[in-house]
Structure 1
Amino acid sequence: MAEAPEPRWLVAANVVRWRRYGELGQEFRSGTKAFRAGAKVYVIDTYPGMGNEQLTAVGHGRHTGHWITIDTGTRHLHTFRAQLVYSPAVLRRCADRPVWSREEAVEWAEFLERVARLGRNTHHAAPHPDPCLCHECLPVSPE
């Protein structure tokens, strides 16, 4: 029987409940095509600096519930945080990625939160519809 992989620090985040979509961002969609709204995902890689910030996330797929690895826009995630991960399914998917210390994971989480907020605010060059359901406009409420 194979040994369980060593736990490691990753950045965890949640998928936004609603995202702006369509012409000038006047429509809304729940979650993303791959992940349900509010789903917890783990960031295993990033691709910053290309204007449309992308990252590789691992989480339970929207339709199957199985673990999937997919590239997605940083703006579709929120509440980035450092987390020590024990899940063998996640650890297998990031085995060939650099190992972060807790401090590095915290720094990446803070950076990605800033990038995501900026991306949500600037992606659609039009005012928000009224009423707006996007992540930035929704009031914070307990779950």
Structure 2
Amino acid sequence: MSGQDEAPEPRWLVAANVVRWRRWGDLGQELRPGTKAYKGGARVYVVDTYAGMGNEQLTTVGRGRHTGRWITIDTSTRHLHTFRAKLVHAPAVLRRCGGLPVGREAVERLVETLDRIAREQRGTYHAGPHPDPCLCHACLTGEGRD
């Protein structure tokens, strides 16, 4: 049996969902479903972060919008929500893993950080008022009305 035939060791990763609708355009007055690469609501796994950039971009692995195949792509943190720690067994995801922390506790700390950053970015990225009616994640969930 060769090394490629063996299943990789399960690993704790950050899982998240792509926002169903995102604000786009001048002052965020237009709405677009999901992202260019992922359908709205798609589950993705964070395999790398860019801490030097304040974690504004994340490298994610998920099923592509058009092909349904596993893709690896950089995604804005603001386009993700419901961050959670998840033990991943999927070989396609594990082969694409970067240098993220391995332990569950480290991943849970990263979950808290990424959730805070995503909320802040969604609240500040588009400075203009929301369109009426607005279907963006913040409006649908009541986020930011604290």
Tell me if both proteins adopt one fold, taking TM over 0.5 as the criterion.
yes
- RMSD value over aligned CA atoms? 1.5
Q: Which amino acid aligns with 1:14?
A: N
- Please tell me whether the aligned partners of residues 55 and 72 of structure 1 are also in contact (alpha carbons under 8 angstroms): yes
Tell me the alpha carbon deviations over residues 100-125 of structure 1, each in whole angstroms, 9 at most, x when there is no partner. 20001111111101100111110011
Give the distance between the partners of 2:84 and 2:53, measured in 1 at CA. 23
- SS of the residue corresponding to residue 66 of structure 2 reads coil
Question: Which stretch has the larger CA shift, 97-106 or 5-14?
Answer: 97-106
Q: In the aligned structure 1, how far is the partner of 2:105 from the partner of 2:124?
A: 29
Share of identical aligned residues, percent? 71
- Count of residues paired in the alignment: 139
Question: Aligned pair 1:28/2:31, yes or no?
Answer: yes
The more displaced of 123-132 and 68-77 is 123-132
Are positions 1:68 and 2:71 aligned together? yes
* TM-score, normalization by structure 2: 0.90
Question: Where in structure 1 do 4 or more consecutive aligned residues deviate above 3 Å?
Answer: none
Q: Does 1:89 align with 2:106?
A: no
2-structure distance, mates of 1:98, 1:48: 11
Whole-angstrom distance in 2 between the partners of 1:73 and 1:34: 12
- Structure 2 vs 1, CA of residues 24 and 52 (structure 1 numbering), >3 Å: closer, same or farther? farther
- Opposite residue 49 of structure 2, the aligned amino acid is T
Which amino acid counterpart does residue 119 of structure 2 have in structure 1? R
Of residues 133, 136, 141 in structure 2, which corresponds to 1:131? 133
Residue 79 of structure 1 aligns to a residue whose secondary structure is strand
Q: Distance in 1 between matches of 2:63 and 2:77?
A: 17
C-alpha distance in 1 between matches for 2:134 and 2:48:
31
- Runs of 5+ in structure 2 lacking a partner? none
**Which of 6, 14, 23 lines up with 1:3 in the alignment?**
6
